[in-house]
A and B are shown apart, each in its own frame.
Chain A
Amino acid sequence: DGGITQSPKYLFRKEGQNVTLSCEQNLNHDAMYWYRQDPGQGLRLIYYSQIVNDFQKGDIAEGYSVSREKKESFPLTVTSAQKNPTAFYLCASSISAISGNTIYFGEGSWLTVV
């Protein structure tokens, strides 16, 4: 099936650890995104990538890092510098970053700090 696959669905992180969330898409989309969602709130953009080997910071990039070495993959690393990482993380993609294109979302990953 075509779509966006995020893994793992649930992840627990100890204080001071870096963790990486995986995002893979087989939609042949150029643009990919990472959003963070806190309970009862909307989505906030962490990073986005318009093309392979290129990415830009979103509104809350501090404490996060990404890479875009392949068109279909856009992993997100939550570093120890992110002081409040517990949240629901959503990966998304669109044909291009032109604002008229529909953004398709993965099923999300829950990250909890223990």
Chain B
Amino acid sequence: KNQVEQSPQSLIILEGKNCTLQCNYTVSPFSNLRWYKQDTGRGPVSLTIMTFSENTKSNGRYTATLDADTKQSSLHITASQLSDSASYFCVVSALTNAGKSTFGDGTTLTVKP
């Protein structure tokens, strides 16, 4: 069964600090991995998308890494801001399941002043 596990479940950091969110997956055959940010009560917004051949991708202060061999990904947030407080989801798609992506349960990040 395709699974996506994220850690930690929740995280509290001070404004200006860096943090890293983790994602492990068992989805196979792998197609792509995406990170989404979801503000409370809003729809998720795509941050990055990576395919098998990509190791790292940045979007401003967000940098995602992918190790397809170990089936792990991370999302690194640099110089955190209060607006980074949100839930972050790792979403993995398989080549054989068009339309059906597997979501992790997310990491809830709180950035405090």
Contact = CB atoms under 8 A, between A and B. Distances in A.
Interface stretch (A12-20, A73-81, A99-107): A99-107
Give the size range of B's interface with the partner: 20 to 34
Interface in A7-64: 31, 33, 40-45, 48, 50, 56, 58-59
B51 A100 contact: yes
B75 to A, nearest CB: 15
Given A48-B100, A107-B42, A99 B94 contact: yes
A99 B43 contact: no
Contacts of A48: 99-100
A98 interface: yes
B103 A99 contact: no
Given A42-B89, A90-B44, 18 more contacts: A40-B106, A42-B4, A42-B103, A42-B105, A43-B44, A43-B103, A44-B103, A48-B99, A59-B100, A98-B98, A99-B94, A99-B101, A100-B32, A100-B93, A102-B34, A103-B101, A105-B43, A110-B41
B97 A99 contact: yes
Interface of B: 4, 31-32, 34, 41-46, 49, 51, 89, 91, 93-95, 97-101, 103-106, 108
27 contacts: A4-B43, A42-B4, A42-B89, A42-B104, A42-B106, A43-B89, A44-B103, A50-B98, A50-B99, A59-B100, A88-B41, A97-B99, A99-B93, A99-B95, A99-B99, A100-B32, A100-B49, A102-B34, A102-B46, A103-B34, A103-B46, A103-B91, A105-B44, A106-B43, A107-B43, A108-B42, A108-B43
Given A31-B99, A42-B103, A99-B31, A105 B94 contact: no
